[in-house]
Amino acid sequence: MKKRIKWICLFLLFPMIVLYFSCKSGTQNQTSAGLSQEKQARVDQADLEKKLYRCPMHPNYTSDKPGSCPICGMKLVPVEKEEKATPPAVKKKTMYRSTMNPNEISDKPGKDSMGMQMVPFEVEEGGEVSEVGGRIAVKISPERQQLIGVKSEKLRIQPIHKLIRAVGRIDYAEPNISLVTLKFEGWVEDLFVNSTGRFVRKGDRLLDIYSPDLVAAQQEYLLAMKANDLPGGSGLSVLKSARERLKLWNISDEQVENLERTGEVKKTLMLYAPISGFVIEKEVLQGQKIMPGENLFKIADLSRVWVSGEIYEYELPFIKPGQEANVSLSYFPGETFSGKITYVYPYLNPETRTVKVRIEMQNPGFKLKPEMYANLEVQVDYGSRLAIPADAVIDAGEKKIAFVDRGDGYLEPREVKLGVKGEGIYEVLAGVAEGEKVVTSANFLIDSESSLKAALKQMTQGQSVEGKRENQHD
Amino acid sequence: MIEKIIEFSAKNKYIVILLALAAIVAAIYCIQNIPLDAIPDLSDTQVIIYSRWDRSPDIIEDQVTYPITTAMLGAPKVKAIRGYSDFGFSYVYVIFKDGTDIYWARSRTLEYLSKILPRLPEGVKTEIGPDATSVGWVYQYALVDKTGKNDLAELRSFQDWYLRYWLQGVPGVAEVASIGGFQKQYQINVSPTALAAFKIPLMKVVEAIREGNNDVGGRLVEFTGTEYMVRARGYAKSVSDLENIVIGNDMKGTPVLVKNVANVALGPEIRRGVADLDGEGDTVGGIVVMRFGENALNVINRVKEKIKDIQPSLPKGAEIVTTYDRSELIKRSIDTLKHQLIEEMIVVSFVILIFLWHFPSAIIPILTIPIAVFLAFIPLFGMKLTSNVMSLSGMAISIGVLVDGAIVEVENAYKKLQLWQAGGRKGDFHEVRLNALKEVGPSVFFSLLVIAVAFLPVFTLVDQEGRLFKPLAYSKNLAMAIAALLAITLDPAMRMLFTRMDYHHYRPRWLSQITNTITVGKYYPEEKHPISKILFKLYEPACRFVLKYRKGTIIAAVLLMITTVPAYLKLGSEFMPPLNEGTILYMPTTLPGISVTETQRLLQTMDKIFKETPEVARVFGKAGRAETSTDPAPFSMMETTVVLKPESEWRKVKRWYSGLPGIMQRPFRFIWRDRVSWEEIVNELDQKMRFPGVSNAWTMPIKARIDMLTTGVRTPIGIKVFGADFKEIENIGQQLERVMKDIRGTRSIFAERVSGGYFVDFFIKRSEIARYGLSVKDVEMVIMSAIGGEPVTTTVEGRERYTVNVRYGREWRDDLDKLRRVLVPTMAGAQIPLDELADIKLSFGPSMIKDENGMITGYVYVDITGRDVGGYVNEAKKIVQEKIHLPAGYSLQWSGQYENMIRVKQRLKTVIPLTIFIIFLLLFMNTKSPVKASIVMLAVPFSLVGAVWFLLILKFNISIAVWVGMIALMGLDAETGVFMLLFLDLSYYDQVRQGRMKTFDDLKEAIVHGAVKRIRPKMMTVTAMFMGLVPIMWAMGTGSDMMKRIAAPMIGGVFTSFVLELLVYPPIYAIWKWRYEMKQGTVDVSRLPIPQLGKH
């Protein structure tokens, strides 16, 4: 009987021992079988509480239990335990701020741009940061950063300027155009400048003209002169008026003197160019009868030209006379000409819905030809401000986020408030300080990592992360 | 009846053998022509309606997906309609009921689609996807040029316009999809300043280009009796042709040409997919998609043949590099299984040979195995089933059982002949032999019937499981059926062939000895048989021991059974056991919204790292979509196919025996591999691939494609939230999350989040545009063409066709400020910047919209544990109804696997008891005693002990494959149980007949006699089964994993059930007989009716 009990006890013990050992071996040998997911899915109870699992295909799905993804049925993989992303040690630093312009911050005491003493204030470097727009700080080792091509750039105060682009046209400078007309009737005897586009210098002989009126006037003048020479001197007033007449008819003093000297009535009269420039219009032909007031030539001086640009209504507030403008033409690729806005027209062209601006420019070598199309770039200077590269800013609709590189692979998301936009840079109003480094490339991956980490954190800490990234689509 | 067949076969042995030979020839034909594949196609009958239109997901949803899904509603035999709207693509999956013919389904789809097609917006290209699924991606290649003579655009053109069509023409290929490279496009980059200067609206440029590219015909003219065909040649064929198209005149009459306002260049089309080869940068790739139900191996071979043929026609310097080839896998896995089958056959043959120790008898079961396996291919071929890992596994697991019939017959004949010889050779030995065969014929049939019946539950599996395991069930049962048929036809015929009983002596003596051993053999009595002697020595003391401690033994057995419960609970679970495909598919996923450039850079960096790993032969990375409707992957999901070098080239690992000379190391390598393992490589790569913001998935090509087939909700419970606005749907989903989290049994709940699309929204200011006399359309047209760039027309250049695209030059639209300046022409001729007409905002929205049966859908996935699904759903429904108030127009639908699970459960609830009942009934018919039948059924729990523990030791998860193994085990159990009991009975009644059954000691002696003396046949059948499965466990090759999962429970189960049967049946039998039949020795047992026993 006793023996039997002994045996029964033994039989009872045996399966328990087997069970015990198999349980043990079951947990120990996990590393050997199956693909990584498979093997990692089976973890013992103790690890269960710490680990989080994520579907490798749907990173949005995280669970605190191993199993398979509800969406695709793939095995969940444990999320790699990473060192907690803690910022480097907290340092206090004294910075100085302008009392007039709070954006003007410096790390050295001194006077601000307006000449006022800057006041010191303390900033914390480091410290715990919370989530920003569903993103939290991440730690990415320098090797991995290099792998994905992370680059960062130090923020500094730099001149910000905005470029306003406009189309424009080269125009004659209005003050530099002259017309050649006659005030008397006549016939063209000799035409010296007989083609349009010819360059004339001031005083060049343009044409000879025969005019009966002019002959009569000359004769009258000679008569008056003679009468003046007579004793009694009564002819002086007549002579004066005759001379006046010739003068009003634009007969040059030289020609009048010539007439006086020779006493000979010239049949024809010479006409000279009033300014240097190009003949842009020529209305006169050899032998033509000319009526008084008729335009003979239009001469434009092209050593200076105007560029008129068309500015759209919404950009008008940025435009002021005196701004630098770069003009580029498709005719001279790679070359830019610069000038200044001299005038903003006070009215809007109803047809094009634009406002004209005028830029006066020198035209050395007459390269700029009127009626050429030009592209204008007007630089609007905002002065020196704290600037962040546009590449560093992730614009997710509501919030604008930049990742600050705090060193040691620690990247921290910050919401930034942006001011004006310059070329490839933004003005920073708040969020990052001068001297901090922001990530300028591979932002997408860092952003994803950060969002995923935030989702994980939410899993571990309950619903602490509000305003998750997924919910931002409004 | 069966006896008559046996008699007939025995008498007409030559006819039977000839017929068998003919059948074998037919089988060989079938084997050569049967479609081969790695695993069965698991996809539903589904038709994909695929539309392309470069619009954002919500626009696609509203204008394309929604109309199509609603049009498809009401089509016959449709199970579900699921729509997905992504940027530029709309997929509508029409899923038909199981068993619907794919071509019938396709024509129904077309029929219903035709209603809606004319009503879709202009520019939407809708087509029906190929008659294939992504599981049909059997071959992939890259078209590369290492000499640098062809650029990516030229290679892509060649791929698109030549190579693709050549390969698509190969029989069995449904589609060839291009990926990567640059698709050539004529890009007309308009300068808005020039347009403004010339006062030409953008639309006029578009119009002019559209009208400047056409060929027409002027019918016929006749000159001098000859007819001439009139053509007007106006196709634009080059950049300069396009440049010189006239747009209009300026005010002075000078013509304005396209080149005056735009820069015309050949450039890449907007890219929705990039490819990378070996980390060397962009490349052009192609994916050969096989038609549904084709023979993958043949298709691949034909494709390769074709590639070889066209090699000379490739552009100079270009070559085709194979990046993925499934035929390797198919060949490898089929080879593994073939190898396995042969190995098993040899092992089983040895077992038989050793146990019988008699060649003429052994040769019959040995021949039966291959013949049964061969012949099983005939019906498989007839049923159009493919030969794959599953169907071959079915055969592999049944090999040990196949021979049972033959073994029993042969053993019986052997025994009878031995008795005949021992009894002084009375009568004709032919007669004795025939009678012996006829005696067991019906039992053989019966035993095979039990096995077949036990396997029936497998046929009740539906959907993917059904598709996966039915081939296995078919091939197993067919092989069994054929084995049964052979057992009563060919086996008797063959046994009759060896007619001689005496040695025939002649010279040389060694030859005569050999021939005699082979043809005649020696008949030993049981006790003197060399194998039996050893078994007796081992088993007799054990048997006596358990008979002494009967109750203790039984209690121990019960305890052992109880231990399976915690062991079972420790097992993990998985849907499908892994099939190691030998190729890694690495699928990194980031959040949606990543740009092409960024993806391309990432892909290349990753591939470079892969390529640096010494085991990697080739890396082909793909991000975004290939040009096929079977690829719905967005940019955020990259797929990298990593082809490894042959295992022999993998890095060596130092082992303890590494110091030994080369030859001596060989045997150790089988046990301790001296190369890095697959897992180690994957782990190493996983460590290297830790990219921030990217999560890694390591899988294998076929497995991934199967996983990605859109199968809807995979958790037990899914709640579909239907409605019109995805934001509200998401909100409801989150409410559900909160409410249901606390319901008892909730394991996890997850409401899908709409995520990841970045948008630039133009909100058109109606009051502003009214002021300028513009319509919304005017503004939109400009946004579409200036920013987006509409393909205006298509050039025709020989076989090649390229789109012509008009849009603002890049420098005019690459930043938000510049978009503000896009000009909209008014009627008056003024050009107004967009900023004055619309508010421009950046926003964040859904990158993909799901649509089911015409409603926008959000899924909430619920996984439960430790609770009955039905009860859980009822409780959850009630709670949800109380706590959540749905806005009008929103509804919930409870679905998910639970419907299926309930259905399967209900089916199994009837099928399993029914199976057990049938087995019991068969047992009862055989044993004529309910008690005996019950004792036999005890084998089932006995086997579970081994099955569960063995799984635990091997660290296998519970999967359907394991269940299938368990089900197969049930049949084996019943069979072995019958054997055990039979011999006990035989011995018992033998003693009873001789009137020696009086005391407990008599009973004990009878039991020991029955159990021990006939251990050989029992041992033989079980060993055959067991040894037939064991080779599977040390198989290493491709496809062995799947088989191991099925075989493991069988091996463990057969082992423990046999051991326990040997040890536990005798005490149980003793107690039963002593207590109830012999009534502790007070009843004269010989007076009781002696039942007719089985013929063993």
Q: Tell me, what's the ipTM?
A: 0.71
Comparing alpha-carbon positions, the chain B residue that sits nearest to A163 is: B817
Read off the pTM.
Answer: 0.76
Judging contacts by C-beta atoms under 8 Å, the chain A residues touching residue B841 are 397
Cβ neighbours of residue B781 closer than 8 Å, sequence gap 6 or more: B203
- Say what the pLDDT of residue A347 is: 92
Are A71 and B861 within 8 A, CB to CB?
yes
Judging contacts by C-beta atoms under 8 Å, the chain B residues touching residue A310 are 196
B85-105 tens-digit pLDDT: 888 889 898 988 877 888 999
**pLDDT of A19 higher than 60:** no
Residue B226 binned pLDDT confidence (cut-offs 50, 70, 90): very high
Q: What residue type is assigned to position B1024 of the chain?
A: A
DSSP assignment letter at B627: S
Are A32 and B755 within 8 A, CB to CB?
no
- Say what the pLDDT of residue B141 is: 92
Residue B1035 three-state SS: coil
Q: Beta partners for B37?
A: none
User: A1 to chain B, minimum CA–CA distance in Å?
Assistant: 11
Flag the least confident range among A29-33, A423-427, B34-38, B240-244: A29-33
Judging contacts by C-beta atoms under 8 Å, the chain A residues touching residue B556 are 8, 11-12, 14
A184, two tokens: 């008397």
> What are the backbone angles phi and psi of residue B637, rounded to the nearest 5°?
-110, 110
- The better pLDDT of the pair B432, B662 is held by B432
Residue A119 binned pLDDT confidence (cut-offs 50, 70, 90): low
Nearest Cβ partner of B955 from A33, A54, A73?
Answer: A33
B964-1001 tens-digit pLDDT: 788 888 888 877 787 777 778 878 887 887 777 778 88
- The better pLDDT of the pair A49, A138 is held by A138
- Say what the pLDDT of residue B1094 is: 46
Give dist(CA B487, CA B372) in Å, integer.
Answer: 10
Judging contacts by C-beta atoms under 8 Å, the chain B residues touching residue A144 are 690-692
User: A340 to chain B, minimum CA–CA distance in Å?
Assistant: 21
- Say what the pLDDT of residue B213 is: 87
Judging contacts by C-beta atoms under 8 Å, the chain B residues touching residue A26 are 570, 952, 955
Are B843 and A474 within 8 A, CB to CB?
yes
**pLDDT of A33 higher than 70:** no
Q: Is the bond leading into B508 cis (omega within 30 degrees of zero)?
A: yes
Nearest Cβ partner of A144 from B555, B563, B692?
Answer: B692
Are A470 and B754 within 8 A, CB to CB?
yes
- Say what the pLDDT of residue A29 is: 39
User: A180 to chain B, minimum CA–CA distance in Å?
Assistant: 27
Comparing alpha-carbon positions, the chain B residue that sits nearest to A28 is: B955
Flag the least confident range among A113-127, B412-426, B726-740: A113-127
* Cβ proximity of B599 and B273 under 8 Å: no
Q: Beta partners for A191?
A: A207
**pLDDT of B197 higher than 80:** no
- The better pLDDT of the pair B782, A23 is held by B782
Are A397 and B591 within 8 A, CB to CB?
no
Judging contacts by C-beta atoms under 8 Å, the chain B residues touching residue A469 are 755, 844
Of B798, B1030, B760, B1086, nearest to B56 (Cα)?
B760
Give dist(CA B745, CA B870) in Å, integer.
Answer: 12
Judging contacts by C-beta atoms under 8 Å, the chain A residues touching residue B949 are 18, 22
Cβ neighbours of residue B343 closer than 8 Å, sequence gap 6 or more: B1031
Q: From the CB of residue A89, how many other CB atoms can be counted at a distance below 10 Å?
A: 8
Give dist(CA B332, CA B346) in Å, integer.
Answer: 21
B488-520 tens-digit pLDDT: 888 888 877 765 666 667 777 777 777 777 766
- The better pLDDT of the pair B1083, A269 is held by A269
Residue A16 three-state SS: helix
Nearest Cβ partner of B715 from A70, A352, A442?
Answer: A70
Residue A22 binned pLDDT confidence (cut-offs 50, 70, 90): very low
B125-135 tens-digit pLDDT: 898 988 888 88
Q: How many residues does chain B have?
A: 1096
Residue A50 binned pLDDT confidence (cut-offs 50, 70, 90): low
Give dist(CA B446, CA B436) in Å, integer.
Answer: 17
Judging contacts by C-beta atoms under 8 Å, the chain B residues touching residue A140 are 692
B160-179 tens-digit pLDDT: 889 999 999 999 899 999 99
Nearest Cβ partner of A56 from B587, B715, B863?
Answer: B587
Query: Mutation test of the interface with chain B: which of A28, A444, A466, choosing the one with the most B Cβ atoms within 10 A?
Result: A444
Judging contacts by C-beta atoms under 8 Å, the chain B residues touching residue A446 are 692-693
Comparing alpha-carbon positions, the chain A residue that sits nearest to B707 is: A72
Mean pLDDT value of segment B936-956: 84
- Say what the pLDDT of residue A427 is: 87
**pLDDT of A36 higher than 60:** no
B228-275 tens-digit pLDDT: 999 888 888 888 888 888 888 877 778 888 888 888 888 888 888 889
- The better pLDDT of the pair B847, A462 is held by B847
User: A152 to chain B, minimum CA–CA distance in Å?
Assistant: 16
Pairing of strands B184-190, B800-808: parallel
Are A444 and B598 within 8 A, CB to CB?
yes
Helix (H) or strand (E) holding B907: helix B897-927
Flag the least confident range among A53-67, B138-152, B188-202, B276-290: A53-67
B369, two tokens: 């195995």
Comparing alpha-carbon positions, the chain A residue that sits nearest to B699 is: A35
What percent of chain B stands above pLDDT 70?
Answer: 92
Query: Mutation test of the interface with chain B: which of A145, A353, A423, choosing the one with the most B Cβ atoms within 10 A?
Result: A353
Comparing alpha-carbon positions, the chain B residue that sits nearest to A447 is: B693
Judging contacts by C-beta atoms under 8 Å, the chain A residues touching residue B194 are 373
Give dist(CA B202, CA B825) in Å, integer.
Answer: 8
Q: What residue type is assigned to position B937 of the chain?
A: M
**pLDDT of A27 higher than 60:** no
| Exposed / middle / buried, residue B609 (Cβ in 10 Å: 0-12, 13-18, 19+) | middle
> What are the backbone angles phi and psi of residue B124, rounded to the nearest 5°?
-80, 125
Give dist(CA B1066, CA B1084) in Å, integer.
Answer: 21
B588, two tokens: 């990194």
- Say what the pLDDT of residue B229 is: 92
Cβ neighbours of residue A195 closer than 8 Å, sequence gap 6 or more: A279, A282
User: B731 to chain A, minimum CA–CA distance in Å?
Assistant: 10
Comparing alpha-carbon positions, the chain A residue that sits nearest to B686 is: A36
**pLDDT of A5 higher than 80:** no
Comparing alpha-carbon positions, the chain B residue that sits nearest to A15 is: B560
Residue A90 binned pLDDT confidence (cut-offs 50, 70, 90): very low
Cβ neighbours of residue A10 closer than 8 Å, sequence gap 6 or more: none
Nearest Cβ partner of B695 from A8, A56, A73?
Answer: A56
Give dist(CA A333, CA A313) in Å, integer.
Answer: 28
Residue B288 binned pLDDT confidence (cut-offs 50, 70, 90): very high
Q: Angle B878-B884-B886 (CA atoms, 0-180°, nearest 5)?
A: 115
* Cβ proximity of B652 and B680 under 8 Å: no
**pLDDT of B218 higher than 80:** yes
Comparing alpha-carbon positions, the chain A residue that sits nearest to B861 is: A70
Mean pLDDT value of segment B310-315: 88
Give dist(CA B122, CA B784) in Å, integer.
Answer: 13
B1036-1061 tens-digit pLDDT: 666 677 778 888 888 888 888 888 88
Rg of chain B's alpha carbons, rounded to an integer? 37
